[in-house]
Amino acid sequence: MLELLGLSKRFSGIPVVNDVCFVARPSEVVGYLGPNGAGKSTTVKMLTGLLPPSDGEIHYRGENIQKRLIDYKRRVGYVPEEPYLYPYLSGREYLQLVGRLRSIRDKILNEKIDLLLQLFSLFPHRYAAIASYSKGMRQKILIGAALLHNPELLFFDEAESGLDITSALVFRSLVKALASEGKVIFYSSHILEVVEKVCSKIIILHKGRVVANDSVEQLRILMQMPSLEGIFQQLLVQRDPEKTAAEIVELMKL
Ligand SMILES: Nc1ncnc2c1ncn2[C@@H]1O[C@H](COP(=O)(O)OP(=O)(O)O)[C@@H](O)[C@H]1O
Ligand SMILES: [Mg+2]
């Protein structure tokens, strides 16, 4: 299991992640929910070993990940929030690059990549440059790249962004299937509805601090709590799109 012990990160002395503690167990999908700027991506960067904590420790299987960081990183799959891809490579070439960096043998790697591209409906575009891909297609490449080496831990940071409805539904089922394979899964998102559908446990982060840590079943009860009401206001999808649209049209006439 993965344990966060008083995890904190400060940038120029300003706390961004503040004394975060929780546990993620295999087969659990831990949702990490919070408004923009709450500190989710910063937490994920520490959990993947990319950013050292300012304070506190992360333990995996009882050992501080900083002690054997390279070994830990081998076990990690990560879909970052910002899709840094190489636009001049084709989707297939990018996956080959990632697979080789992960030391997967060429024969198995190519087989995996072709199957993955087919399952993600990207096979017809496999030789096209990533520069020509839509946001959703890029996102699928990033998700595929995180899965190639069959990692024990998976960190998804706003991983659904840009996916069309069908792809998003496949992705949600995939997350659940990975959980039943015994993976540790961390699912960060600012969208309440998505986290609610995918996760088994929810941690709510606000201004760098954990304000709730509970099962998804408890979520609706948590939402009624006066102390959390304001936070949930920021997390819910706006319910009155027509009114907003009408107001925009009116403002254009001013
Ligand atoms: N490298 C950095 N240097 C300074 N401030 C940062 C850095 N990375 C993130 N921050 C700040 O930390 C806060 C949390 O950011 P982030 O973890 O990306 O939030 P979230 O993913 O929840 O939207 C924001 O106010 C952001 O501006
Ligand atoms: Mg973020």
Domains of the chain from N-terminus onward = 22-51+65-75+153-164+174-254 (3.40.50.300), 83-150 (no CATH)
The ligand 1 atom nearest the CA atom of 11: 4
Whether ligand 1 lies within 6 angstroms of the CB of 45 is answered as no
pLDDT averaged per 10 residues, the chain (length 254): 96 96 95 91 97 97 96 96 92 97 95 94 96 95 96 96 91 94 94 86 92 82 71 65 88 93
State pTM to two decimals.
0.90
Whether ligand 1 lies within 6 angstroms of the CB of 122 is answered as no
What backbone torsions phi and psi does residue 134 show, to the nearest 5 degrees? -75, 170
Whether ligand 1 lies within 6 angstroms of the CB of 189 is answered as no
Whether ligand 1 lies within 6 angstroms of the CB of 16 is answered as yes
**Cβ-contact 23, 1 below 8 angstroms:** yes
Among residues 139, 132, 38, which one has the least CA distance to residue 89? Answer: 132
Whether ligand 1 lies within 6 angstroms of the CB of 37 is answered as yes
Whether ligand 1 lies within 6 angstroms of the CB of 238 is answered as no
Mutation to probe ligand 1, out of 7, 14, 16 (largest number of atoms < 8 A from CB): 16
The ligand 1 atom nearest the CA atom of 38: 22
Residue nearest to atom 13 of ligand 1 (CA): 37
Rounded to the nearest whole angstrom, what is the distance from the C-alpha of residue 105 to the centroid of ligand 2?
Answer: 33
> What pLDDT is recorded for position 99?
97
Rounded to the nearest whole angstrom, what is the distance from the C-alpha of residue 186 to the centroid of ligand 2?
Answer: 13
The ligand 1 atom nearest the CA atom of 35: 22
